[in-house]
Structure 1
Amino acid sequence: MSLGHKKVCYPGLPCYRITARGEEGQDWLAASERSLEKTEETRLVSNLPLYLAYVVTALGLLGAFTAIYVYITPYHELALIRAGNRTAAFSLGGVLIGFGLVLASTVAHSVNLLDMALWGGVALAFQILVFLLAALLLKELRAGIEADKHSYGITLAAMSIATGLINAGAVTY
């Protein structure tokens, strides 16, 4: 009687070894492999709505953060960016990257969608506080950004990205 062995590994599942004897066993081995492949495909398709919910929620938080940030700053980033002001682009880009880092961490480490949204809200408030602190430390921030002095935009971007990284690490609990 012939003996067949097959090591089976699928992403997210432990590897295992299947042993089959004879022709019937070999047929069963092939059928079970096809069944597992279908299970993986079914799992991927069934998780698509949850994936979309996380992406839409994260993008909603990013949009809310951007709207709040643009509203509280004493200068008009979008108008400055449209006029070619690189400093405004550096600062807004860095702020968005900093918040995006935190959002990515909340998506990866949350236990459910509500948990992700709540931690995203906490991160939003924290990143807004970072801007307010930067505005206190850099007394001429508004004038520097409006005058397109790159050092102001780069410093604000660096502060936002650095605190975003720290914030992202903190929400891994």
Structure 2
Amino acid sequence: MESTFGSILSALGAGLPVLLLQLAVTLALLVAGVFVYTRITPFDERRLVSDGNAAGGLTLGGSIVALAIPLAATLATSTVILDIVMWGLVALILQLVAFAVATLMIRDLRGQIEAGNVASAAALVGVQLGVAVINAAAMAG
């Protein structure tokens, strides 16, 4: 019994620092992706959310999830930090391109989101999440 418990503690001691490092790197990539996303969008998400604009909140929340999904796939399939960073950056770039393409497809997106048009926000989030799931599957190989 003691040797099994000791083995578990030993494995935890060896694996926990790796887990925490990989988690920190992936979360840093997510924060960087959200930062870039909020800079390239034609609207101010923080202001929209603080003003109670549901479309702005839906767009920001959906975008965070859409950025996180392929990062999670990268984290799940990579064991080397450099691999996580490289594929994580590729995943983020693809998601940001998906946002750019979606904005071209939805006429007057800025005006619609700022006016609180939840239907437009939902369409944008749908495109972003759809691309995120496909992106994650491609990352997982």
Query: TM-score, normalising length from structure 2?
Result: 0.96
Report which of the two has the higher share of strand. 1
Instruction: After TM superposition, give the deviation of residue 37 of structure 1 in Å.
Output: 2.5
Q: In the alignment, which residue of structure 1 is the partner of 2:74?
A: 106
Q: Following superposition of structure 1 onto structure 2, how do residues 1-173 of structure 1 map, counting pairs within 5 Å?
A: 33-173=1-141
Instruction: After TM superposition, give the deviation of residue 41 of structure 1 in Å.
Output: 1.4
Instruction: Give distance in 2, aligned partners of 1:74 and 1:168.
Output: 26
Q: In the alignment, which residue of structure 2 is the partner of 1:5?
A: none
Report which of the two has the higher share of helix. 2
> 5+ residue gaps in structure 1?
1-32
Instruction: After TM superposition, give the deviation of residue 36 of structure 1 in Å.
Output: 2.9
Task: Tell me which stretches of 4 or more aligned residues in structure 1 moved more than 2 Å.
Answer: none
Q: How many residues align?
A: 141
Q: Secondary structure at the match of 1:171?
A: helix
The one-letter code of the counterpart of 2:88 is G
Larger Cα Rg: Structure 1 or Structure 2?
Answer: 1
Higher relative contact order (CA 8 A, sep 6+): 2
Instruction: After TM superposition, give the deviation of residue 34 of structure 1 in Å.
Output: 2.4
Query: TM-score, normalising length from structure 1?
Result: 0.79
Over aligned residues, Cα RMSD in angstroms?
1.0
> 5+ residue gaps in structure 2?
none
